[in-house]
Amino acid sequence: MEPLDEFTLHRRLATQPGVSLVLFTSPTCGTCRRVERLLPEAAPGDARLFKVDVQHAQALARAYEVFHLPALFLFRDGHYHARLDCEVTPTVLRGAIDAALAAPAEEEP
């Protein structure tokens, strides 16, 4: 997973076609480490994976209203689409992504 912060998130995602998933995480969060290990297998094969360490990007965590970790956000073609609150297993995550993409894009926090 490619790390992002306040200075790179929008610039990097703007160049990404298709689906991108951004995981907000912390090295001290056990659940975050587990989700980070599971995400590459659970995400669709063409999805690009990124992570934000909230300890180093606190302003970005505040901007995205991340109050609980881990937090997962869906982007399509570089634009914010939705927050995903689901189990990180292939069936559940892919179903959540499909449902979110079928709905109109949400407003970026």
Model pLDDT for residues 28-73, shown as the tens digit of each residue: 999 999 999 999 999 999 999 999 999 999 999 999 999 999 999 9
Q: How many separate domains does the chain show? A: 1
Domain limits for position 83? 2-102
Question: Is residue 107 included in any domain, yes or no?
Answer: no
Task: Report, as an integer, the average pLDDT of 18-28.
Answer: 97
Could you tell me if residue 74 is left (phi over 0), alpha (psi between -120 and 50 degrees) or otherwise beta?
A: beta
CATH number at residue 31: 3.40.30.10
Q: Is residue 109 part of a domain?
A: no
* Residue 90 CA from chain centroid, whole number: 15
Q: What is the mean pLDDT of the chain?
A: 96
7 found inside a domain: yes
The answer to whether residue 19 is domain-embedded is yes
Query: Residue 18: phi, psi to the nearest 5?
Result: 80, -155
Name which residue leads in pLDDT, 109 or 97.
97
| Residue range 13-29: mean pLDDT, rounded | 96
Quick check: is 50 in a domain? yes
In a domain, 108, yes or no: no
- Kindly state the average pLDDT of the residues 16-35: 96
